[in-house]
Amino acid sequence: MPRQIWLNGKLVPEQQATVSVFDHGLLYGDGVFEGIRTYNGRIFKLRSHLLRLYASARAIRLEIPYTLDQLDQAVRQTVQANSANNGYIRLCVTRGVGTLGLNPFLCKQAGTFIIADHIALYPREIYENGLEVITASTQRTAPAALSARIKSMNYLNNILAKIEAIDAGVLEAVMLNHQGFVAEGTGDNIFIVRGGSARPQLATPPLHASVLEGITRNLVIDLAGQADIGCEQTDLTKYDLYAADEMFLTGTAAEVVPVTKIDKRDVGTGKPGPITQQLMAAFKKLLANHAPED
């Protein structure tokens, strides 16, 4: 049975879910999106994702032609139509059909589509044994050029860093910002553990370091707090990553992923560390006990 795509107000078979070649989302990457997960029929942090979508749209003066509640129902309708009880949702809002010029205000109405499917960024053994990463030479886009807090459709910056990772024979790259501080991965936020076994503490780049305010990032900070593990949001350098006791990535699609090697250097013991494993277990427990929809 073909997938059903929610396109501009109605469900259509995927073969009919087409976008105009004059849509500025295609021509210029002018649009915003969210990636959302479903677990056991529950849509994970849906309201948080929708709020971020509308914030991103406001930041680029893109008017979404639906209310938040209407998109909430549209997402649920798409999940139900595709029986995507354990899957991945991509919600996109483009600038819409316009001219070949840049002027976004010649686009009459934004285009909206929702896909409910599946995604697997990393093989299962990565979660058991850890991920190897490199530091990319491609810098994260400077916030004065484009704020990383806008989850826009223009991902070329991240894609170039991803190409570097693949060329190096690994699956992910750490991106630095224009000041040389650690920003994030090509699609995930970064955490390290430092302080030794006596007083371990998390550290993660602050939002001003060209970082997306990840939904899973915020949740992991909350889970750490519940476990009496402090988390410092502070500028980090490559040295901090090299000297860390542990490292892990977080993201909606990736969840919580241990990193055990960076730039050919072992992170800590070269195996997923105890704090990383504790937070991975806490995250899985949360999902097992009815993933929060708020």
CATH number for 4-117 (one of 3.30.420.40, 3.90.960.10, 3.30.470.10, 3.20.20.100): it is 3.30.470.10
pLDDT at 288: 86
DSSP single-letter state for residue 198: T
Contact 224, 214 (CB under 8 A): no
pLDDT at 2: 85
CB-based burial, 132-141: b 16+ in 10 Å, e otherwise? bbbbbebbbb
CATH number for 124-288 (one of 2.170.120.12, 3.20.10.10, 3.30.930.10, 3.90.45.10): it is 3.20.10.10
Contact 95, 104 (CB under 8 A): yes
The 3-state secondary structure of 102-133, one letter per residue: CCHHHCCCCEEEEEEECCCCCCHHHHHHCEEE
CB-based burial, 213-237: b 16+ in 10 Å, e otherwise? ebbbbebbbebbeeeebebebeebe
Do 4-117 and 124-288 share a fold?
Answer: no
Catalytic site residues? 151
Q: Mean pLDDT, 10 residues at a time, over the chain (294 residues)?
A: 94 97 98 96 96 98 98 98 95 98 97 94 93 98 94 96 98 97 97 92 97 97 96 98 98 97 98 98 90 74
DSSP single-letter state for residue 169: T
The model's pTM is 0.95
Tell me how far CA of residue 91 lies from CA of 65, 205, 263, in angstroms.
Answer: 14, 27, 34
Q: Which residues pair with 256 in a beta bridge?
A: 250
Name the residue ranges covered by the structural domains of the chain.
4-117, 124-288
CA 186 – CA 192 distance, rounded (Å): 17
pLDDT at 29: 97
